Amino acid sequence: MARFALAVLAIGALIGPIPTDGQLVGGVFGARARDSFGGTNGVGAEAGVSLPLIPLEVFAAGTLFHPTCIGCELRGWSLGVKLTVIPLPVMRPYVTFGRAWRNLEDPSSTLILDDDGLFAGAGLEIGLPGFEVFAEGRYEFMTVDPGQDLRQWTLRAGVMMRWGGLPL
């Protein structure tokens, strides 16, 4: 993933070096995992760096879901990129992809599942004065082992903020 990000930055710099500033990005979101346990809700946070030169955003996110089974916890982490498809002034559609990890703990049956894989999806950011709202849908292509299947559609919506300029 790091090599890919570096290659994209290098290609972007060679195409047209433009003086610009990157930004720190952070926010919170609500999530809905549609396939696990017949659907479960969760909350999460995301942080990253936006590189408006390309326009690319590199991010890390964490989500805590609340499954219907008693005492269960489903946690997820992801590391990925968002690439703006059409950089419009207010609405910015994007595609996203990266790596995802899921961890399910069920204390009633001592069941602990760890799964990892890739995700891909699309979303829309709407810029408002001082913050942005976003909605995103993604599918997580998790590895499938016998008795362990955490593949799922995940829907996310939330609020993001951007801070200051990082010289590029």
Please give the model's pTM, rounded to 2 decimal places.
0.78
- Quick one: 129 exposed, middle or buried, by C-beta within 10 A (0-12, 13-18, 19+)? exposed
Tens digits of residue pLDDT in 59-105: 999 999 888 777 788 888 999 999 999 878 889 999 999 999 888 78
Tens digits of residue pLDDT in 14-34: 554 444 456 889 999 999 988
pLDDT at 37: 62
Q: Which range, 8-17, 22-31, 145-154, is most confident? A: 22-31
